[in-house]
Amino acid sequence: MSDSLQHRLGRLLHPAGEVKVKPGSVRRRPAEPLPPGREVENERGAYYLVEVPFEKALHHEAEGSCELEPPPWSLDDGPRGRLTTERPLFLDLETTGLSSSPLFLVTTLSLESADGSPIFRQRFARDYTEEDAVIHDIVKEINESGSLITYNGKSYDLPFFERRAAYHRISFVFDSPHADLLHICRRKWKGRFPNFKLQTMEDYVVPLSRANDIPSADIPGLYHRWVRDGFDPRMRSVFRHNLRDVLTMVRLFALLVNDDGKRRNED
């Protein structure tokens, strides 16, 4: 489906919060099955924002703790040398498939917090027309960070995001340090695990329950149906799936940073 068609469908399917059923009759959309959040507006439009304190998510989802020494933090990024950062931004996308398709949910977490309590921010495009508003605020958050932390983000998340920003004519030139934890994990544990998918890291390295999780392959179709029908009880599971991905990334980062620091101190 082309981007222009998706945008027209978004406007047709969600006019002023109503869904047309047939000529002469209009029904209200059911209550949206989304986690508690709020609408955010910017110069590009509006989107839905969910905020979850890091400690709350850690308590509900993970086995074990996540402890970090005070910043700056340093990672051995292999042939690219060391990456040192005080303000890393963790980022993960949920998309509708191919690179020419929209993204609709972006979860971020910055370890820099005014009160010392990091917060997951989940920005959600409630239909196709809200994608550019989500991208606008993500660009701002990335530009304000000291570095970017992803899992397979150099091959997937960042190129995808750059293409979608370009489509919406949003200026985005990424020139900050970027640590892709997938590559770091491959070097550190080469040959020890069957593969290096993020959920494999949860099985072997940083335990996290995926009970009642939604398969990644089901997510694009679910979002299209949600836009079309205005309701799908599994949408909450998509938010939780994306938050779990970022939580695992943060815990991997903590383990890698702490292990690297111990090794350097021993040397």
* Structural domain spans, the chain: 3-13+32-266
Q: Does the 3-13+32-266 domain belong in CATH 2.60.120.260?
A: no
Q: What does the mean pLDDT of the chain come to?
A: 85
Which DSSP category does 154 fall into?
I
Q: pTM, whole model, 2 decimals?
A: 0.86
SS3 content of the chain, % helix, strand, coil (to 5): 45, 25, 35
- Res 19: pLDDT: 35
- Res 260: pLDDT: 62
Chain centre to alpha carbon of residue 43: 22
User: Between 126 and 70, where is the model more confident?
Assistant: 126
Q: What is the pLDDT of residues 151-191, one digit of tens each?
A: 999 999 999 999 999 999 999 999 999 999 999 999 999 99
Strands 178-180 and 147-150: parallel
233 in Cβ contact with 100 (< 8 Å):
no
User: Between 71 and 47, where is the model more confident?
Assistant: 47
Q: Which has the minimum average pLDDT: 8-12, 24-28, 145-149, 246-250?
A: 24-28
DSSP-assigned letters across all residues of 188-242: HTTTTSS---HHHHHHHTS-B--TTPPPGGGHHHHHHHHHHHS--TTHHHHHHHH
41: enclosing H helix or E strand: strand 38-42
Q: What is the pLDDT of residues 92-123, one digit of tens each?
A: 999 998 767 999 999 999 987 656 689 999 99
